[in-house]
């Protein structure tokens, strides 16, 4: 029944990519300028792909909805990027990075893709340094590393708490060079509205100029979608306000299967929710778990007193604090993977130990006091003061912390008006990343020939849970080191095609359909703003398709979303016109897609009768609240085929996951 | 977080599009949480306008965590508002008092034409970057090992500090000459401080300065307003370094 061919190359795991590269077909340099490639999105995956394809000599058209490609949301990634360099001499290797990623993903990712990711990871660091990315260095002038969740080595490269910014600006500089040379044509403030297929192949897109509102037709021999993840289906998330699923969803509606939509990463360390007018949640980097210790009070009455403002966290004695991650997971402690840390926080708060005075009492402490003391002592010692007094220790310790995490501490203080050097940070899990996405084969091609999907928008590398500092790695791996090869293989059959006309029936119809959907939304002229619907969708998703899911909750979510969607199409109000800059219209078009996706996420979660990674079904847990995976029944990728707006009608295709290089095991961080 | 609510009067620049004339409109907004960010306050205004079937205020924003550089806004006569080293999205309403009147205007600079309301066109920055803000290295799996050239920590740190520029344009908006020297200086500095950037240093600074001038940015008269208003605290030293690089390239360039 399956229409899925993952096209995994033959051979031993460490030879697959090399052999495949040797066998793939090429396009000669003189033929490349005759071939057009469209890249949608300018984050790490999109910008690196567009730059690399431009360098190779293809005609590239690059699209972003922001006012500049430099603003794509990869820019906000904080902590770092993994690479199996083993610079720290702690036993790292390609195999170990591969193993950690598979295990971190709870044995739900495709082995061959993950191995390739680990294999090219070292090249990424070399490439970025050559571009002038200013990574953090040690005094000897060599690159520094730190540790992230779910691993026992230091393989994470970083630039303070803004690694994503530095990597994206690196990719943006490479892209800018190609734009300056005329190899890439850049379309800022343009949003992809639909993909255009001719004879079943991807042949272009319909884009909307967000300044003039005009619809434009753009043709190409291949289309790359690198439009990021769909975390904004929850309304409140760490995603940027403009992050959306629309490009990915449009190709899904035109035949690309959508895989594992229920795999969502809830990040454990975000600033807790404060009020109803809040528009987004802010992440505090996972790197902080290198230095901070997470705790809640051991006694409920202490938690009550803190929430009522009668006690301060610094007044709780050491023996009255529950460092629950150290207690439950001594081997990994605070550096357990994100899904594990998030669930543990939820468990404590649900049990009544939450410390934040918001509607739900949801918050735990991330405390830097021990680290400030211990680092202060170390620094004093290194400076020759072998017996520092308390004051010196604290002063030097704070300085050390500031150097490592200064911008994060500053950001925290801006948002909460509390000083994290003096009092512990308050944190709680929030939606951060989506592991699910468009199904792609080993070549990153979707089930639409000629339509490739890269970065967070595809599903392939992180299984049911992504490890920290692996998103940047995957985005750049896809864009710099995978797509340039696999797209060439596809394009080798296109050298005789010639320019593709945008006057064809297919382009005309696609443009007409887009115009119609815009016009019908404009004409609803109801009474509620787009945000009104988006917030309600977000609440349904967070409460029923969030950190923990149950059969009853999912069934009710499916029905509620359907009802909300009907209401949206009858009662949404979009002010202004469609032929001008209109932020409300942009939002409405995105929310319309989220209202379909949200339902599919619930359908997928309902189908998956097991708990794995970020997908936690209350029915499937052990006595200690750990996930119970069911490898006999669910060791597969769920790839959904679109039928109509009602996700319950979507057809399920299964890609069985085979593990040859790794022994599948229980995931244990104790 | 002890939140409270305040009422504010907003004086906002409204302009339908690039070709029309703009004017200041006055709006009353009540029950604004002091825990709200400035942009969440504008969201609240827009929700109110939409409910009254009026056109909401257009403004650029995206990440809302102070790093993408989308948000701008001249607030009470200062780029990104009253706080130093803070983007508008990280400015919170606790910086304002009940009953305050707040003026909100777009960036004002010839090189940043207004598109609508508070939205301006900053693509001039992109074009400056395209003229030389890069190291000419192609993607390859075979560049040298990342640790092949040790870089002194202070150089790496200074390059990083320059590279933290978010390209928001506050420096231009704050400068009485609309000069982009802080933005361009930061980019030139980042590469000038690193061995990888030194190869093309002469050409880079010449091209970027030329493009900067062509875009219509003014000259630098060392008032230092840019450094004061920069949300990322980019230092004036970067302008000095660019001037040195420029002079050096005039003296040593082969052409």
Q: Token pair of B8, please? A: 């504010």
Inspect the interface and report whether the beta carbons of B43 and A531 lie closer than 8 Å: yes
Q: Mean per-residue pLDDT for A179-183? A: 98
| Nearest by Cα to A266 from A333, A337, A324, A338 | A338
Q: Which among A49, A64, A71 is the top mutation candidate for probing chain B, defined by the most B β-carbons within 10 Å of its own β-carbon?
A: A71
Nearest CB to B40 within list A69, A188, A277: A277
**Would you put residue A103 in left (φ > 0), alpha (ψ -120 to 50) or beta?**
alpha
Q: Which of residues 227-266 of A touch B (CB under 8 A)?
A: 238, 240-242
Token representation of residue A83 = 């690479």
Contact assessment for residue A204 and residue A502, using Cβ atoms and an 8 Å cutoff: yes
Tell me the C-alpha distance between A21 and A339, whole Å. Answer: 35
B160 within 8 A of A160, measured Cβ to Cβ = yes
Q: Which of A85, A169, A276 to mutate to test the interface with B (most CBs of B within 10 A)?
A: A169
- Which of residues 213 through 232 in chain A touch B, CB cutoff 8 A? none
Contacts of A176 in chain B (CB under 8 A): 126, 129-130, 133-134
Q: Does A177 touch chain B (CB under 8 A)?
A: yes
Domain residue limits, chain B: 5-105, 122-252
Closest-CA residue to A282 (of A241, A250, A323): A241
Closest-CA residue of B relative to A43 is: B68
Share of chain A above pLDDT 70, in %: 100
And the tokens for A472? 């940047």
- Note whether A498 contacts B: Cβ–Cβ < 8 A: no
Joined tokens for residue A400: 């050390």
Cα distances (angstroms) measured from residue A594 to each of A533, A561, A630: 10, 10, 29
Q: What is the pLDDT of residue A667?
A: 85
Average pLDDT of A348-358?
93
Weakest-pLDDT range from A171-175, A407-411, A666-670, B212-216: A666-670
Cβ neighbour number for residue A155 with a 10 Å cutoff: 29
Gap between the Cα atoms of A320 and A328, Å rounded: 17
Contact yes or no for B67 and A418 at CB 8 A: no
- CA dist B246 → A440, B185, B219 (Å): 49, 10, 14
Give the Cα separation of B51 and B54 in Å (integer).
7
Sort B219 into a burial class: Cβ within 10 Å, 0-12 / 13-18 / 19+: exposed
Q: Region B173-193: what's the mean pLDDT?
A: 98
**What angle, 0 to 180 degrees and rounded to 10, lies between the N-to-C axes of helices A111-131 and A94-104?**
120
Of the candidates A658, A651, A629, A534, which has an alpha carbon nearest to the alpha carbon of residue A589?
A534
CB pairs under 8 A between A and B: 225
Query: How many DSSP H helices and E strands does chain B contain?
Result: 9, 7
pLDDT score of A473 more than 70: yes
Tokens 């307003």, residue?
A: B225
Do residue A131 and residue B196 have CB atoms under 8 angstroms apart?
yes
Q: Does A105 touch chain B (CB under 8 A)?
A: no
Tokens of A248: 């990915």
CB proximity under 8 Å: A 351-410 to B: 357, 410
B31 pLDDT above the threshold of 90: yes
Question: What domains are defined for chain A?
Answer: 266-431 (no CATH), 505-634 (1.20.58.100)
pLDDT tens digits, B18-27: 999 999 999 9
Residues A651/A655/A656/A657 CA torsion (nearest 10 deg): -140
Contacts B53 to A, Cβ<8 Å: 573, 575
Residues of A in contact with B67 (CB under 8 A): 75-76, 162, 164-165
| Mean pLDDT for the stretch of residues A393-403 | 94
SS3 at position B31: strand
Q: Please count the other Cβ atoms lying within 10 Å of the Cβ belonging to residue B252.
A: 9
Which residue's entry shows tokens 């993977």?
Answer: A337
Q: Please state which of the four CATH numbers 3.10.20.30, 3.30.1490.100, 3.40.50.1000, 3.40.50.80 is assigned to the domain occupying B5-105.
A: 3.10.20.30
Q: List chain B residues with CB under 8 Å of A140.
A: 150
Cα A453 off chain centre by: 14
Q: How confident is the model at residue B1 (pLDDT cuts 50, 70, 90)?
A: very low
Q: Mind telling me how many Å the CA of B153 is from chain A's nearest CA?
A: 5
Interatomic CA distance for residues A367 and A291, integer angstroms: 8
A570-573: which pairs have CB atoms within 8 A and are 24 or more residues apart?
Answer: A570/A524, A570/A526, A571/A524, A571/A526, A571/A527, A571/A528, A572/A521, A572/A524, A572/A526, A572/A528, A572/A529, A572/A530, A572/A533, A573/A524, A573/A525, A573/A526, A573/A527, A573/A528, A573/A529, A573/B50, A573/B53
Give the closest-approach CA distance of B136 to chain A in angstroms: 8
Cα(A281)–Cα(A228) distance, rounded to whole angstroms?
18
- Give the closest residue to A605 by CA, choosing from A556, A532, A655, A659: A556
pLDDT at residue A668 tops 90: no
Is A41 near chain B, with CB under 8 Å?
no
In which band, very low, low, confident or very high, does the pLDDT at A359 lie, cut at 50, 70 and 90? confident
| pLDDT number for residue A160 | 87
Confidence of residue A331 (pLDDT cuts 50, 70, 90): very high
pLDDT 10s digits, A16-50: 999 999 999 999 999 999 999 999 999 999 999 99
Q: In what order do the strands lie in the sheet with A364-367?
A: A264-270, A425-434, A364-367, A293-297, A321-322
Mean of pLDDT values over A123-149: 96
Q: Residue B1: its chain A contacts at CB < 8 A?
A: 274, 357, 416-418
Counting Cα atoms < 13 Å in the Cβ hemisphere of A416 gives 27
Tell me how far apart the alpha carbons of residues B128 and A449 are, in angstroms, rounded to a whole number.
37
Measured CA to CA, the distance from residue B15 to residue B115 in angstroms comes to 8
Q: Which CATH architecture has domain B122-252?
A: Orthogonal Bundle (1.10)
Please say whether the beta carbons of A389 and A337 come within 8 A: no
**Binary contact (A240, B51; C-beta < 8 A):** no
- How far CA A241 is from CA of A384, A498, A582, A610, in Å, comes to 50, 39, 15, 32
Q: Decide: helix, strand or coil at residue A488.
A: helix
Q: Which two tokens stand for residue A165?
A: 């910014």
Residue holding tokens 């499937």? A620
User: CA dist A634 to A337, A604, A657, Å?
Assistant: 21, 12, 9
A75 CB neighbours in chain B (<8 A) are: 63, 67-69
Q: What is the pLDDT of residue B2?
A: 57
C-alpha span between A545 and A541 (Å, rounded): 5
How large is the average pLDDT for residues B51-56?
Answer: 96
Average pLDDT over residues B99-124: 97
Residues of A with Cβ-Cβ distance to B43 under 8 angstroms: 277, 279, 531
pLDDT at position A358 is: 84
pLDDT at A294: 97
Return the residue matching tokens 């985005």: A475
Phi, psi of A453 (to 5 degrees): -135, 130
CB contact under 8 A, A275 and B130: no
Cβ contacts of B91 on chain A, cutoff 8 Å: 414
Considering only CB atoms, which chain A residues are within 8 Å of B68?
66, 71, 73, 75-76, 240
The partner residue sitting opposite A66, judged by closest CB among B1, B56, B70, is B70
Confirm if A355 and A307 have CB atoms less than 8 A apart: yes
Give A563 to chain B, closest Cα distance, Å: 22
Q: What is the pLDDT of residues A50-104, one digit of tens each?
A: 999 999 999 999 999 999 999 999 999 998 999 999 999 999 999 999 999 999 9
Average pLDDT over chain A reads 96
How much is the pLDDT for A588? 98
Residue numbers in B near A280 (CB within 8 A): 64-65
- Which residue of chain A has the CA closest to B67? A76
Give the mean model confidence (pLDDT) for residues B207-224.
97
Flag whether residue A33 sits within 8 Å of chain B, measured between CB atoms. no
- Tokens describing residue A332: 């990994």
Q: Averaged over A519-529, what is the pLDDT?
A: 97
Q: Is A531 on the interface with B (CB under 8 A)?
A: yes
Alpha-carbon distance A329 to A625, whole Å?
Answer: 13
pLDDT of residue A398 exceeding 70: yes
For residue A663, the Cα-to-chain-centroid distance in whole angstroms is: 27
Q: How many Å apart are CA A214 and CA A209, to the nearest integer?
A: 5
Question: Count of H helices and E strands in chain A?
Answer: 18, 19
Judge whether residue A1 has pLDDT over 50.
no
DSSP 3-state assignment of A310? Answer: coil
B3: enclosing H helix or E strand: none
Respond yes or no on whether ipTM tops 0.95: yes
Chain B residue numbers touching A588 (CB-CB < 8 A): none
Q: Where are the alpha helices (DSSP H) in A548-660?
A: 551-571, 583-607, 631-634
Closest listed residue to residue A294, CA positions, set A284, A280, A282, A305: A284
pLDDT band at residue B253, thresholds of 50, 70 and 90? confident
> Where does residue A318 rank: exposed (0-12), middle (13-18), buried (19+ CB within 10 A)?
exposed
- Chain A neighbors of B157, CB-CB under 8 A: 134, 137
């Amino acid at each position: 029944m399956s229409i899925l061919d993952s096209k995994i190359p033959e051979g031993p795991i460490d030879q697959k990519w090399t052999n495949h590269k040797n066998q793939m077909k090429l396009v000669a340099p003189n033929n490349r300028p005759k071939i057009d490639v469209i890249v949608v999105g300018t984050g790490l995956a999109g910008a690196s792909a567009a730059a690399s394809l431009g360098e190779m000599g293809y005609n590239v058209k690059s699209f972003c909805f922001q006012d500049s490609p430099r603003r794509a949301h990869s820019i906000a990634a904080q902590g770092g990027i993994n690479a199996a360099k083993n610079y720290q001499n702690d036993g790292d290797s390609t195999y170990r990075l591969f193993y950690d990623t598979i295990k971190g993903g709870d044995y739900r990712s495709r082995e061959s893709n993950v191995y390739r990711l680990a294999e090219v990871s070292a090249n990424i660091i070399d490439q970025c340094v050559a571009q002038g990315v200013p990574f953090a260095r040690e005094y000897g002038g060599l690159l520094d590393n730190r540790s992230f969740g779910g691993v026992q080595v230091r393989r994470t490269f970083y630039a303070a708490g803004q690694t994503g910014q530095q990597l994206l600006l690196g990719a943006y500089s490479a892209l800018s060079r190609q734009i300056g040379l005329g190899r890439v044509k850049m379309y800022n403030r343009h949003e992809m509205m639909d993909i255009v297929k001719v004879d079943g192949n991807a042949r272009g897109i319909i884009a909307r100029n967000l300044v003039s509102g005009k619809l434009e037709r753009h043709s190409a021999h291949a289309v790359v979608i690198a439009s990021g993840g769909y975390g904004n289906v929850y309304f409140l998330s760490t995603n940027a306000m403009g992050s959306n699923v629309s490009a990915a969803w449009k190709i899904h509606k035109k035949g690309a299967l959508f895989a594992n939509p229920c795999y969502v990463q809830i990040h454990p360390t975000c600033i807790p929710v404060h009020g109803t007018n809040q528009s987004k949640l802010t992440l505090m980097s996972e790197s902080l778990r290198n230095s901070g210790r997470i705790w809640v009070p051991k006694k409920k009455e202490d938690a009550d007193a803190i929430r009522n403002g009668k006690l301060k966290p610094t007044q709780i004695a050491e023996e009255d604090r529950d460092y629950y991650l150290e207690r439950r997971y001594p081997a990994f402690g605070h550096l357990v993977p994100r899904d594990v840390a998030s669930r543990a926080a939820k468990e404590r708060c649900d049990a009544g130990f939450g410390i934040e005075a918001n509607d739900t009492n949801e918050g735990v402490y991330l405390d830097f006091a021990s680290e400030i003391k211990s680092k202060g002592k170390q620094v004093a010692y290194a400076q020759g003061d072998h017996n520092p007094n308390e004051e010196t220790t604290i002063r030097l310790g704070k300085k050390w912390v500031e150097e490592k995490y200064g911008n994060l501490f500053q950001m925290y203080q801006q948002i909460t008006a509390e000083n994290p050097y003096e009092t512990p940070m308050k944190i709680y899990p929030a939606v951060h990343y989506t592991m699910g996405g468009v199904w792609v084969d080993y070549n990153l091609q979707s089930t639409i020939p000629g339509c490739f999907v890269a970065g967070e928008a595809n599903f392939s590398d992180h299984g049911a849970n992504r490890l920290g500092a692996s998103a940047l790695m995957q985005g750049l791996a896809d864009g710099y080191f995978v797509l340039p090869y696999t797209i060439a293989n596809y394009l080798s059959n296109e050298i005789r095609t010639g320019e593709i006309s945008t006057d064809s029936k297919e382009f005309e119809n696609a443009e007409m359909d887009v115009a119609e959907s815009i016009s019908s939304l404009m004409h609803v002229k109801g009474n509620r703003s787009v945000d009104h619907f988006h917030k309600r969708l977000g609440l349904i998703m967070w409460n029923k398709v969030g950190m923990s899911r149950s059969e009853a909750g999912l069934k009710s979510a499916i029905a509620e979303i359907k009802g909300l969607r009907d209401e949206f199409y009858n009662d949404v109000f979009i002010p202004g016109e469609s032929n001008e800059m209109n932020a409300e219209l942009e939002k409405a078009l995105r929310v319309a897609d989220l209202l379909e996706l949200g339902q599919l996420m619930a359908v997928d979660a309902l189908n998956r009768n097991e708990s794995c990674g970020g997908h936690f079904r209350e029915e499937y847990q052990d006595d200690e609240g750990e996930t119970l995976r069911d490898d006999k029944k669910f060791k597969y990728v769920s790839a959904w085929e679109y039928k109509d707006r009602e996700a319950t009608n979507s057809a399920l295709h299964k890609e069985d996951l085979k593990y040859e290089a790794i022994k599948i095991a229980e995931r244990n961080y104790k | 977080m002890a939140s409270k609510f305040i009422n504010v009067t907003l004086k906002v620049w409204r302009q339908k599009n690039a070709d029309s004339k703009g004017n200041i409109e006055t709006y009353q907004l009540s029950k604004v949480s002091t825990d709200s960010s400035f942009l969440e306050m504008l969201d609240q205004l827009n929700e109110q306008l939409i409910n009254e079937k009026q056109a909401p205020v257009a403004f650029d924003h995206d990440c809302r965590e102070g790093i993408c550089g989308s948000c701008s806004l001249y607030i009470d006569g200062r780029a990104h508002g009253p706080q130093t080293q803070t983007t508008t999205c990280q400015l919170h309403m606790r910086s304002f008092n009940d009953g305050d009147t707040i003026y909100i205007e777009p960036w004002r600079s010839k090189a940043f034409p207004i598109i609508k309301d508070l939205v301006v066109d900053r693509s001039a920055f992109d074009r400056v970057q395209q003229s030389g803000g890069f190291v000419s290295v192609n993607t390859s799996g075979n560049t040298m090992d990342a640790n092949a050239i040790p870089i002194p920590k202070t150089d790496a740190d200074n390059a990083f500090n320059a590279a933290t520029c978010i390209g928001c344009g506050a420096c231009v908006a704050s400068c009485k000459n609309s000069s982009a020297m802080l933005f361009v200086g930061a980019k030139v500095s980042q590469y000038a401080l690193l061995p990888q950037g030194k190869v093309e240093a002469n050409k880079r600074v010449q091209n970027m300065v030329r493009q900067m001038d062509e875009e219509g940015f003014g000259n630098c008269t060392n008032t230092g307003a840019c450094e004061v208003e920069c949300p990322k605290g980019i230092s004036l030293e970067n302008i000095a370094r660019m001037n040195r690089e420029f002079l050096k390239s005039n003296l040593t360039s082969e052409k």
